[in-house]
């Protein structure tokens, strides 16, 4: 059955072994063509030549991080509000079902499609991209937060209820303190993902470094492509490292 599925996909995808064999060297040549010439004897001059747009690119990268940050925070806040009524142990079943469907819809529409639509509604620029990231993050974080709340023990919540607390107070003081480490850890993980996603939003005009990269690819500025990619990689790696540290210390402090 696997063989049939592969054959059918290959036919639809217009792929043949011949094309793969022909295509791969082309791709390899292209990638090799983007690599800069860094010679040991004038290394710094070559490096400066390669990274000629560093100041602009660094600014765009900062914008990209900002898009990811604001999108994660706003999306995370919406997710937090929606996650309590989406937890099966905390709300009546019909409310849980409705909220869960809404969250599902928010996270199934691809971020880039949302960005295309928001660019049309809110105009070109980072704001549209941030909104797209916020909506998608709200959908995926809402589900994860709700699962964290479901894992929390109910005794503290019952204590707050016995003291006469409203539903909101029960959530705030009975459940949230227990799920906080999980919520923060998932939020940080989402931020890492969003930095990657924000780096491509520029392709549809939604701000960040993607636009510059798109131009470089379109205009066959080979060396710029590799320079921007290296900068993106370094940024992503730095963010991953930082968030990983923070996550471990949060989870470590919780246990």
Q: By CB under 8 A, name the binding residues for another protein.
A: 5-6, 8-10, 12-15, 19-20, 23, 26-27, 29-31, 63, 66-67, 69-70, 73, 105, 108-110, 112-113, 116-118, 120-123, 125-127, 130, 196-197, 199-200, 203-204, 207, 210, 213-214, 217, 220, 225, 229, 232-233, 236-237
CB of 110 to another protein, least distance (A): 5
Q: Check: CB of residue 210 under 8 Å from CB of residue 195.
A: no
Give residue for tokens 């060396």: 223
Give whichever of 47 and 237 is closer to another protein, judged by the CB atom: 237
CB of 9 to another protein, least distance (A): 4
Give whichever of 67 and 146 is closer to another protein, judged by the CB atom: 67
Nearest-angstrom CA–CA distance, 209 and 148:
34
Sign of CA pseudo-dihedral 184, 187, 189, 191: negative
Closest CA to 142 of 72, 86, 74: 86
Could you tell me the end-to-end alpha-carbon distance of the chain, in angstroms, rounded to an integer? 47
Give whichever of 103 and 232 is closer to another protein, judged by the CB atom: 232
Nearest-angstrom CA–CA distance, 72 and 107:
13
Give whichever of 83 and 235 is closer to another protein, judged by the CB atom: 235
CB of 240 to another protein, least distance (A): 8
Could you tell me if residue 92 is left (phi over 0), alpha (psi between -120 and 50 degrees) or otherwise beta? beta
Sign of CA pseudo-dihedral 134, 190, 79, 176: negative
CB of 162 to another protein, least distance (A): 29
CB of 206 to another protein, least distance (A): 10
Give whichever of 154 and 217 is closer to another protein, judged by the CB atom: 217
């Amino acid at each position: 059955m696997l063989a049939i599925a592969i054959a059918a996909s290959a036919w639809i995808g217009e792929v043949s072994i011949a094309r793969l064999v022909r295509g791969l060297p082309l791709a390899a040549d292209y990638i090799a063509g983007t690599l800069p010439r860094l010679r040991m004897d004038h290394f710094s001059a070559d490096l400066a030549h390669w990274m000629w747009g560093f100041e602009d690119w660094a600014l765009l990268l900062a914008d990209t991080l900002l898009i990811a940050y604001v999108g994660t925070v706003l999306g995370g806040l919406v997710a937090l509000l929606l996650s309590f009524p989406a937890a099966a142990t905390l709300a009546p079943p019909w409310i849980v079902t409705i909220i869960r469907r809404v969250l599902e819809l928010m996270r199934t529409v691809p971020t880039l499609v949302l960005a295309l639509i928001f660019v049309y509604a809110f105009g070109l620029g980072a704001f549209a991209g941030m909104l797209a990231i916020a909506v998608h993050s709200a959908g995926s974080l809402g589900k994860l937060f709700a699962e964290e709340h479901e894992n929390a023990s109910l005794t503290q919540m019952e204590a707050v209820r016995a003291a006469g607390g409203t539903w909101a107070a029960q959530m705030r003081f009975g459940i949230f303190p227990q799920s906080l480490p999980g919520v923060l850890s998932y939020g940080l993980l989402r931020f890492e993902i969003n930095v990657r996603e924000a780096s491509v939003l520029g392709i549809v005009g939604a701000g960040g470094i993607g636009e510059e990269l798109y131009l470089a690819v379109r205009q066959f500025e080979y060396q710029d492509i590799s320079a921007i990619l290296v900068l993106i990689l370094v940024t992503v790696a730095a963010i991953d490292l930082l968030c990983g540290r923070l996550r471990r210390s949060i989870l470590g402090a919780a246990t």
